[in-house]
Structure 1
């Protein structure tokens, strides 16, 4: 029996950690644990975890390039039948290369998997917002 995610009250998830690769597994575990009780398919859980991991990896590799590393924050909410995930940092936006070669496909993967992707950049950091349909 499918659970209607729109009618289930779900607490927000917030994970704020240093932007280092050693924290990625923790983020993936916490996000998957937050998603599972919502009642979405296991394939959607995998997709969300995949692209959030990609956004966090981009933060680790690019946001603090050439400056002291700082935090990254993952916030997830269930809003009107949509899973909304924000990944933010206090670093500097690095635009993807026009010819990515074997790298630089993270944002394209996010756009392919998510219902919506929005990237907001400012001198104070970057926030990537992804939305996913959580209705059964």
Structure 2
């Protein structure tokens, strides 16, 4: 399979389901087997969280919004980005029983970053398939 993944998803509740399927297939193919490695499973969950956040919050329920999932692979290093052109909503001080998506992404990836501005939000993260050391550079940033 290609070392590049690019999918545009309608900002609807089923966007996360589709993102999990397509990301899982892509990462499994990169792992070179029939089952994804532990890192690939973590990255699928991180994509799920980022896409869910975008679909739910960026467009305030407007189903015409688009969430873009982009991934690149070089060797065992995988970088993923989830972007939207919607609005940013600051996480609440007390998230209650929700609001832990960004923390989950940070915990499941080697490096994570959120960039937001007037043109939308991009959540970027990476991992090393097979848990090989040292593929991501930089630091975790939120």
TM-score (normalizing by structure 1): 0.84
Farther-moved stretch of structure 1 (86-95 vs 25-34): 25-34
Q: Which aligned segments of 4 or more residues in structure 1 are displaced greater than 3 angstroms? A: 66-69
| CA deviation after TM superposition for structure 1 residue 71, in Å | 0.3
Return 5+ residue gaps in structure 2 as ranges. 133-142
Corresponding position of 2:139: none
Corresponding position of 1:124: 119
Distance, in Å, in 2 between the alignment partners of 1:56 and 1:14 is 13
Query: 1:39-118 maps to which residues of 2 (within 5 A)?
Result: 39=31, 41-65=36-60, 69-79=64-74, 81-118=76-113
Question: Aligned Cα RMSD in Å?
Answer: 2.0
Distance, in Å, in 1 between the alignment partners of 2:64 and 2:116 is 17
How many residues are aligned here? 128
| CA deviation after TM superposition for structure 1 residue 21, in Å | 1.2
Report the 3-state secondary structure (helix = DSSP H, G, I; strand = E; otherwise coil) of the residue aligned with 2:96: coil
Distance, in Å, in 2 between the alignment partners of 1:50 and 1:124 is 25
Corresponding position of 1:3: none
Return 5+ residue gaps in structure 1 as ranges. 1-8
TM-score (normalizing by structure 2): 0.81
| CA deviation after TM superposition for structure 1 residue 10, in Å | 4.3
Corresponding position of 1:30: 22
Report the 3-state secondary structure (helix = DSSP H, G, I; strand = E; otherwise coil) of the residue aligned with 2:115: strand
| CA deviation after TM superposition for structure 1 residue 80, in Å | 5.3
| CA deviation after TM superposition for structure 1 residue 35, in Å | 0.4
Which fold has the larger relative contact order, with Cα–Cα distance below 8 Å and residues 6 or more apart in sequence? 1
